[in-house]
Structure 1
């Protein structure tokens, strides 16, 4: 049921994203004037961040079912909803630009960092959890699940912020650059919150 809920949420996010796109184009935003190339930073960021966000959403729904702590559940819900919405926008832009959602190039190529995307054990980009870590999160309960989630999501946000800063620097579509700037601000705020939650549990970020 968790995965069905995630799929439904993802579908809703795509609709929200499509609405945002329509509004931006109707409002004369530069996102509708010229479609970026398939190998551009704009397209690369949209593809890679959509994948990055997908794991954050999945991770958040896992911990929601593994703890009863109100603070952690609220944080996980906020992250899942925000990143599902943003993911819908990113995929919607790719549709608008008539560009593929997958690329033959390795992840992070648009940042000149394809060598950092090893794909080892499912970790396709910096900050992403491995398949082993995701499976382990699904076996823990209570405080143990909370700590691992907060540690994994801290790494995830650090990688996401790095990517978003790359888009702020390299992307040319104004509405996408503004989304990336918003990601940096919101995820940095959540990093501060997660550091406090980890400290309350006698733990620290892994890096």
Structure 2
């Protein structure tokens, strides 16, 4: 439980640091002006907002499917953190007067394009399929906990990969810092969830 508190604290710190300058990005260090619609900055904001939305949905589903306080607390923290970050990402797109939807395939800004689709038709790597989301909503108790932890581990791995892409390619300083914070927080949560799965006699999916 102490480890969970440390992770949540780190995520909250990243949110505060980013939120304090959410609307001061146009002249932020590392940026020469408003990003273009095809830039890594805009692509990351659009794609990660979609990625985060599913994590929020999964987390609220499992909170209604289990009474385990540790899982419910983790799910709530993930939902709150990613909902707040999603708001920042969409807010930047508004500030830059850029569309929130692109005709380009997800992760084109990372040079992946049509290769971005995850397994079994998932929109992006790490994202759950519609069938997996439906299954999560049908389970209860420990079975729901295990499946959620497995899905969220995959989800975080995909999110870390995308955030690392922004750290490398984004030019807006505050967005790069948010992406770096995502990498650190989600890697810590991946370790935490591995331990929670072991406690339940399970493991992350291959």
Cα distance in 2 for partners of 1:98, 1:192 equals 38
Q: CA deviation at 1:123?
A: 1.4
Q: Is the 8 A contact 2:119 2:125 kept in 1?
A: no
Match of residue 21 from structure 1: 22
Residues 72, 19 of structure 1: alpha-carbon distance in 2 compared, 3 angstrom cutoff: same
Q: Is the 8 A contact 2:106 2:116 kept in 1?
A: yes
In the alignment, the residues of structure 1 paired with residue 123 and residue 52 of structure 2 have an alpha-carbon distance, to the nearest angstrom, of: 12
Note the 1:43-122 alignment, pairs <5 A: 43-118=42-117
1:126 corresponding residue in structure 2: 125
Answer yes or no: is the 8 Å Cα contact 2:25–2:174 preserved in 1: no
Checking the alignment, whether the CA contact within 8 Å between 2:25 and 2:173 is kept in structure 1 is: no
How many residue pairs get aligned? The number is 189
- C-alpha displacement at 1:114, in angstroms? 1.2
Query: RMSD of the TM alignment (CA)?
Result: 2.0
By relative contact order (CA 8 Å, sep 6+), the higher-ranking structure is 2
TM-score (norm 2): 0.86
Gap regions ≥5 residues in structure 2? 1-17
Aligned to 1:10: none
